[in-house]
Amino acid sequence: MSALPSSRPEKPRVGLFVTCLVDLMRPSVGFAAVKLLEDAGCLVEAPVQTCCGQPAYNSGDRGTTRDLAMRMIETFHGFDYVVAPSGSCAGMIRKHYPELFEEDPNWRAKASALAAKTYELTSFLVDVLGIAEVDATYHGAVTYHDSCSGLREMGVKAQPRLLLSSVKGLSLVEMKDSDVCCGFGGTFAVKYSDISGAIVDAKAKNVADSHAPTLLAGDLGCLMNMAGKLSRDGIPVKVRHVAEVLAGMTDEPAIGLAKEAAPRQDQP
């Protein structure tokens, strides 16, 4: 892994925005992000945090969203950068926080300042730190799903692929329609369960047709949706967050696999 440019005298202080889902469901993704950032020469802290407010925002509850956004803005105020292992949650801050305070110039300025220094993880590593390779090994083929917000709000497409190409033993196989939504959509998956089910059905078929034994993506919501569908349909594909593979931290069972029943299936 390349070091930071030498013109930087001090380590950048990065606030890790863990995101709710990683915090609650899969903390190992958060620790993989910490490792990647520390290996890249960052000083990483994870301040006490809750939610960026996206579920409320997309449900039309602007009041709750603003409350949570103000809390986030204060929490991450002092960091050089804010990095999230999620294009969706980072996109919420980058693209939508400033829109929340259109009538409040004071908070709008604060929101814009936070927005400007907030990044999705792989995009931060590649676009800001200039990193092109990681020190990791993963045996076998993987296919990569482009999560919608990361792709369309944060421009995340080439960065994870570039980093994955440096992982020893790994080959990337593109599936058909990798840039088409998996049908998660937050509360959509529950509110419009049948439609969401049909969309993820198409996605699962494309994953299966790629014949890659591992599926990666950069957003845990999409990953849980796809992993849940693949296991429901009995398609034996291991599903992981891309950070786990890039950090070489694949000891934990893949998403939806058991700790006790399936120890260390990943690395032969």
Residue numbers 85-104 binding other proteins by CB under 8 A: 99
Q: Does 241 bind other proteins (CB under 8 A)?
A: no
Give the nearer residue to other proteins in terms of CB position, either 143 or 147: 147
Residues 6+ apart with CB under 8 A from 171: 140, 141, 142
Shortest Cβ 22–other proteins spacing (Å) = 6
The DSSP H or E segment spanning 90 is: helix 87-91
184 binds other proteins (CB under 8 A): yes
Interacting residue with other proteins among 3, 232, 263, 264 (CB under 8 A): 232
Cβ–Cβ contacts within 10 Å for residue 257, how many? 16
Please, what is the minimum distance in Å from the beta carbon of residue 127 to other proteins?
20
Binding mask 19-58 for other proteins (x = CB under 8 A): ---xxxxxxx-xx--------------x-xxxx-x-xxxx
Both structure tokens of 13: 């202080």
Using rule CB under 8 A, residue 60 touches other proteins: yes
Q: Is 141 exposed, middle or buried (0-12, 13-18, 19+ CB in 10 A)?
A: middle
Give the C-alpha separation, 52 to 69, whole Å. Answer: 6
For residue 247, the minimal CB distance to other proteins (Å) is 14
